[in-house]
Amino acid sequence: MSGTLISTIVDSPPADAQTPAMKLASARSWFLAVSLIAAPLLQAQYFFPQTKTMEKLSTATLGGGCFWCVEAVFEQLPGVHNVVSGYAGGKTDNPTYREVCEGTTGHAEVCQIHFDAKVISYQKILEVFWLAHDPTTLNRQGNDVGTQYRSVIYYHDAAQQTAATKSKAAAGKDFRDPIVTEISPLPKFYEAEQYHQDYFLLNPNQGYCNAIIAPKLRKLLQDGVISDKK
């Protein structure tokens, strides 16, 4: 609290000797003083617990075609707190969606999945990953063609690398063609533009969402791979 504010409060004349303007000024000073004292307390109560919660979450970074699809699938899993669409694995800093779509940046469309490992394991995240896209098609998912749509697992540590390698080998038995999914250390992740976040949730009637994402979610829901969080 500044010395000016303190002196304004302490040196104010008695209430019965104050004019209406002086009373208003005094009230404002008291309000400011209380605000300065209360703000740190409110911040500690409401902001720090959220920070601690995020610190306890684990993160998986996966690419399986259009990130709208990947995001929509993993947002339906119990234990997943947040999914962020973005770009990784390229040579261009701060790429835009247009640049990535042109296929010249080297980036893949990926999602960072923040999850509670006490509720859902990294192994389970990977099991859903294999079922949510076709990992046997190189640089392609359906009609989406290009290196930006490649199947990729970016591991965050040695434990994830080991888990991803074992999971890929186990999943390979379920596919007729060999899995071409890349497994690499996590490069720098660039969060995609805001309008890409929660895309299916906010745009369920958009053409691509109706034709591609909605049927995929219905199939995964029917097969028990995901649950309906709604």
How far apart (Å, rounded) are the C-alpha atoms in residues 201 and 131?
21
How far apart (Å, rounded) are the C-alpha atoms in residues 183 and 2?
56
E-strand ranges in 27-174 read 58-64, 80-88, 108-115, 140-141, 144-145, 151-155
Amino acid in the structure at residue 156: H
CA distances from 129 to 64, 75, 123, 126, 134 (A): 8, 12, 10, 5, 9
DSSP string for residues in 15-33:
GGG--HHHHHHHHHHHHHH
User: Angle formed by the axes of helices 48-56 and 20-46, to 10°?
Assistant: 20
Any idea which residues carry the catalytic annotation?
Answer: 66
